[in-house]
Amino acid sequence: MPLKILVIDDSAYSRAALTGLLKSIPGVEDVSTAVDGVDGYRQALKIMPDLIMLDLEMPNMDGFTFLRLIKGKQQAPVIVLTSRRWETDAATALELGAVDFLEKPALCPSDRFFSIKGELAKRIGLIPYMRPQNGLSLKRQVKAAGKTMPDIIAIGASTGGPKAISTIIRALPSDLGAAIVISLHMPPWLTEPFVERLNSESLIQVRIAEDGCMVERESVLIAPGGAHMTFLKSGSNFMVKLEQRGSEDHYAPSVDRMFSSAAKVWGPRLTGIVLTGMGTDGRQGAEEIKSNGGYVIAESKESSILFSMPEAIISAGISDEVLSVGEIGEWIIEKCSLKH
């Protein structure tokens, strides 16, 4: 399918470099450019691109305002162009609806800018499978009633995950009667600002998991980028054991590793939730959750940006319920409030 892409960036060099780069990728038919958010907003509504590449720091209208205004107006996924010195801004953009990000090389006339071609081509290959989150609330698809109320909820996500996780966590009360652990495919430099922002805007405590820290009710632990989150039981306490990424690991943190470890420790008192993302990470771990008597929920296609991860759970017959992202938050509140 020939693709139309809109590049929104106030740097003339960036626009020219990205245009040349994008046109060298098979499947890209047309590349339009805009000099700021105002120009980009007008063009996005006029040409209806298949993908938008968005800079954040721009005059007249920045990328954050663009994301707020464009929501619901067009269907193109937005990929943010950023650098590590703007990691906090990148985390904010992902929560505002950007589906992914690319780390932008230094803005200088050199071949360094073309180092992102491989990663950019991967994102473009996912465009046919992407959809913006629309917040649809659907009737629950329930296969079996939960056997027990959960002591712990383990959540896994990838592309589109920051927005989905933020939607769920911000809806939770401070006195939730369960612990929540999350593995999200995100690099180390972006995990910390994401967690800090989420904690500042949530009633429940949110923090990055550390090796040896306690897993406790009324708190959310998010695995640090580049490490796997697993668990140990010591007496009546439950602790995190971080494992470093191996050379053969495709994802770190791995949802499969977290699910498998949690299933062994909590058994039927565990609920696993698989959110939006590309690939099948979480499917094997979800099978172990079921084998140990736990409960599994998959996000619905209608609210997923990328349905691959939830679809893998549903297709394998593992999921007990299929819920929209809004309903998942409601489910957690409903089930865990019974423990008070």
For helices 188-200 and 87-95, angle between their N-to-C axes, nearest 10 degrees: 60
Give the residue numbers annotated as catalytic, written as ranges.
158, 185, 281
Q: How far apart are CA 92 and CA 60, in angstroms?
A: 19
Q: How far apart are CA 124 and CA 3, in angstroms?
A: 9
Residue 202 is encoded by which pair of tokens?
Answer: 């949530």
> What are the two backbone dihedrals, phi and then psi, of residue 259, each rounded to the nearest 5 degrees?
-60, -45
Report helix, strand and coil shares of the chain as percent, to nearest 5. Answer: 40, 25, 35
The rounded Cα 75 to chain-centroid distance in angstroms is: 18
Q: How far apart are CA 152 and CA 141, in angstroms?
A: 22
Query: Under a CB-based contact definition with an 8 Å cutoff, are residues 63 and 95 in contact?
Result: no
Q: What element of type H or E holds 232?
A: strand 227-234
- Type of residue numbered 253: P
